[in-house]
Amino acid sequence: MTISELYASIDGDYEQAKRVLRMDRLIDKHIRRFKSAGVGEQIVAAGRAMDAQALFESAHAMKGVCGNLGLVKLAAAANEITEEFRPGHARTMSDDEVREMIAGVETLYRNAIEGIERYEAQA
């Protein structure tokens, strides 16, 4: 599996990753690291506890990494959570709506991780 095939399989934007990281070598490095960084697990854990500060920080971290890696759907979902829990901002969603959104993030995240695992196995 090539790196661009990986992106196609996880609904990522390879061109965006290429624009940011320029080299497949670096995309490869950081996509592998994404799997081990645990940003998805952190956001899920923060959602279970409904810890606003932890949700903001983990969603912010996910948004940054995914934005650079071209994981655009994850980045967009993480952005919504970031803005919802940004310190000083008024909440607009109920906790249930947040949980629903985190569940969506978790699905996207698992899908991405499984794709990366396949990529690692076939690379």
Partner 1 sequence: MIQSKQIRKSQLVLVVDDMEINRDVLGIILEDQYEVIFAADGEEALQKIYQYQHCLSVVLLDLIMPKMNGFEVLEHIRNDDSLQYLPVIVLTAEKSAELRALQMGAADFITKPFDVHEVILARVARIIELSEGRQLISAAEHDKLTMLYTRNFFFEYANRIQHFQQARMDAVVLNIEQFHSVNALNGYEFGDEVLRTLGDEIRAFLQETDGIASRFEADRFDIYCAHQGDYQAMLNRFQNALNKLSHKSSIRLRMGVCLWAEGVDPVLMFDQANAACSKVRGDYMRHLMVYDEQLREHELLDQRLLNDLQRAVDERQLQVYYQPKYDVTGERPRLSSAEALIRWNHPELGMIPPGTFIPLFESNGQIGVIDKFVWNEAARQLSEWHARYDIDLSVSVNLSRVDLFDPVLESTLSSLVESNGLEHMNLKLEVTESAYTENSDYVIETVNRLRDMGFEIEMDDFGSGYSSLNMLSAMPIDVLKMDMKFIRNIEHSEKDLRLAELVLDIARYLKVPVVAEGVETEGQLQLLRDAGCDIIQGYFFSPPLPADKFEELIKRELNRA
Instruction: Give the span between the Cα atoms of 90 and 35, in whole angstroms.
Output: 32
Token pair for 115: 């794709």
Q: Pick the stretch among 3-11, 29-37, 46-54, 93-101 that binds partner 1 (CB under 8 A).
A: 29-37
Rule CB under 8 A: choose which of 40, 47, 67, 115 binds partner 1: 67
Rule CB under 8 A: choose which of 7, 14, 46, 63 binds partner 1: 63
Q: Determine if 58 is a binding residue for partner 1 (CB under 8 A).
A: no
Rule CB under 8 A: choose which of 22, 48, 91, 110 binds partner 1: 22
Look at the block and give the residue holding tokens 């698992």: 110
In the three-class reduction of DSSP (H, G, I as helix; E, B as strand; rest coil), residue 10 is classed as: coil
CB neighbour class for 104 (10 Å; exposed up to 12, middle 13-18, buried from 19):
middle
- Report the 10 Å Cβ neighbour count for 29: 12
In the three-class reduction of DSSP (H, G, I as helix; E, B as strand; rest coil), residue 11 is classed as: coil
Shortest distance in whole angstroms from residue 62 CB to partner 1: 10
Q: Pick the stretch among 12-20, 45-53, 97-105, 109-117 that binds partner 1 (CB under 8 A).
A: 12-20
List residues binding partner 1 (CB under 8 A): 16, 19-23, 26, 29-30, 33, 57, 60-61, 63-65, 67-69, 79, 86
